[in-house]
Amino acid sequence: MSLPRCPSYYNATIKHETHYPQLEGELEVDVVIIGGGFTGVATALELSEQGISVAIVEANKIAWGATGRNGGQVTGSLSGDKAMVKQLQNSIGIEAEQFVWDLRWRGHEIIKQRVAKYGIDCDLKYGHLHTAYKPAHMAEMLATFDEGARRGMADELILVSKAGISDYLDTPLYHGGLLNKRNMHLHSVNLCIGEARAAEANGAKIFEYSQVIDIQDGEQVVVKTPKGQITAKTAVLAGNAYHKLARNKLSGLLFPASLGNCATVRLDPALAKQLNPHDLAVYDSRFVLDYYRMTADHRLMFGGGTNYSGRDSKHVADELRPALERTFPKLKGIEIEFEWTGMAGIVVNRIPQLGKISPNLFYCQGYSGHGVATSHIMGEIMAQAVRGQLEEFDLFANMKQIRLPVGEWLGKQGMALGMLYYRMMEHFR
């Protein structure tokens, strides 16, 4: 069953709504991509730029999934970074740390370059504040600052003291923070649609309301939808937390977690400036964190308080309101105009999962809530892989992935318990 866009702020402010056709009949391309979120679209754009014939088959609309529901924060905080370094030390030795450090900024470069090259209007802005929720959390900020300074980023980082927070946010919370000028924030749906339009202009074929219901993989891959099919040399499965394909190979690897997000009515621009004078994206230092920023039209977009049972919350705004008002007491009682949820793909060791289901069927998923930049990095790596350049793909594909030998339902209960554990551990941090 195909679904319309969710009632989010992003979808109410789309610059160029998409009207791609449903797949009907038969088509042949070099590469077919299943899923039209950041992962699928970024991979398709990369391939189309290299003159490769590519098609995207999307069950709903371009950017319908997590890509159209997220906080729009482009962070260098790569999920699973420490686990990645540990595993990569076995394959590339002392290069591992530098590789992962460079990786964390690669998505930023791809996004910046695409926005400039294709003139994508997606409200791209710079600056993040990672805030210390407790005094002890400043140790992590300090360590990140030191590492950044050591690796040549000193000009882009500012350690903010408890007293200094009021220069950046009108909030009684926080014991300091780390300002990162390289990180960015943006309108996710307009970015993804802009990239899809660029891929289409390069020759990519895009189909919406075309749910893939079967994949036959042999010498070629045949991807079937209710009304059509595409034959390709290679297929990339990019459905992340929203697809149920290839269960025999993928079950137990990734667990969908429902995250909530909301946006207030437009604030008086002067009030918006008072609350967040440098227009920064903010996320706090807890395991289960709050994240927020101002939109281009001066709304506060506020997310957090995750529901790891994998079920969508019914009253997202009511759930988020107490944290929003605690953060900005001046917004007590503010009307919340948009509320929505989305499924993030959570991985136990947090390392993005890239691999092959069969020689011609690749998959790429699982950014554990950090996918805006990471999906672009992985799109580049997947595009290299389907063209036969497998070095970086193999680094990821060879990393140990933790598979929980349980069904999705039990996995979600396990995750809910895990989050409860993390919330409890928060008291001791």
Ligand X SMILES: Cc1cc2nc3c(=O)[nH]c(=O)nc-3n(C[C@H](O)[C@H](O)[C@H](O)COP(=O)(O)OP(=O)(O)OC[C@H]3O[C@@H](n4cnc5c(N)ncnc54)[C@H](O)[C@@H]3O)c2cc1C
**Shortest Cβ 255–ligand X spacing (Å):** 13
342 binds ligand X (CB under 6 A): yes
User: If residue 343 lies in a helix (H) or strand (E), which one and from where to where?
Assistant: strand 336-347
Instruction: Report the alpha-carbon distance of residue 381 to residue 293 in Å, rounded.
Output: 30
**Shortest Cβ 192–ligand X spacing (Å):** 8
Handedness of CA 107, 112, 115, 118 (dihedral sign): negative
275 binds ligand X (CB under 6 A): no
211 binds ligand X (CB under 6 A): yes
User: What is the footprint of ligand X within residues 158-197 (CB under 6 A)?
Assistant: none
What's phi and psi for 374, nearest 5 deg? -60, -40
Helix count and strand count (H, E) for the chain: 12, 17
Determine the angle formed by the axes of helices 371-386 and 95-118, rounding to 10 degrees: 90
Tokens of 79: 């999920």
Looking at 98-106, 123-131, 314-322, 362-370, which segment touches ligand X (CB under 6 A)?
362-370
**Shortest Cβ 364–ligand X spacing (Å):** 7
DSSP 8-state secondary structure symbol assigned to residue 333: T
Among 106, 175, 370, 412, binds ligand X (CB under 6 A): 370
Determine the angle formed by the axes of helices 95-118 and 81-92, rounding to 10 degrees: 120
Looking at 17-25, 326-334, 337-345, 381-389, which segment touches ligand X (CB under 6 A)?
337-345
Q: Which is nearer to ligand X, 109 or 155 (CB)?
A: 109
371 binds ligand X (CB under 6 A): yes
Q: Is 429 exposed, middle or buried (0-12, 13-18, 19+ CB in 10 A)?
A: middle
303 binds ligand X (CB under 6 A): yes
H-only helix segments in 181-287: 188-201, 247-250, 269-275
Among 34, 100, 383, 397, binds ligand X (CB under 6 A): 34
Q: Which is nearer to ligand X, 207 or 328 (CB)?
A: 207
Contact 264/331 with Cβ under 8 angstroms?
yes
**Shortest Cβ 241–ligand X spacing (Å):** 6
**Shortest Cβ 428–ligand X spacing (Å):** 27
Looking at 24-32, 86-94, 131-139, 368-376, which segment touches ligand X (CB under 6 A)?
368-376
Q: Which is nearer to ligand X, 291 or 338 (CB)?
A: 291
Give me the count of residues in the chain.
429
Tokens of 325: 């008002």
Among 52, 120, 215, 259, binds ligand X (CB under 6 A): 259
Contact 254/52 with Cβ under 8 angstroms?
no
**Shortest Cβ 6–ligand X spacing (Å):** 10
Among 44, 65, 128, 304, binds ligand X (CB under 6 A): 65
What's phi and psi for 285, nearest 5 deg? -95, 10
Looking at 197-205, 331-339, 342-350, 413-421, which segment touches ligand X (CB under 6 A)?
342-350
DSSP 8-state secondary structure symbol assigned to residue 309: T
Non-local CB neighbours of 420 within 8 Å, separated by 6+ positions: none
Residue 135 Cα distances to 162, 180, 297, 304, 425, angstroms = 9, 19, 34, 21, 15
Among 9, 18, 32, 37, binds ligand X (CB under 6 A): 37
70 binds ligand X (CB under 6 A): yes
Number of residues that bind ligand X (CB under 6 A): 44
What is the binding site for ligand X (CB under 6 A)?
34-40, 57-60, 64-67, 69-73, 75, 211-212, 238-243, 245, 259, 261, 291, 303, 342-344, 367, 369-373, 375
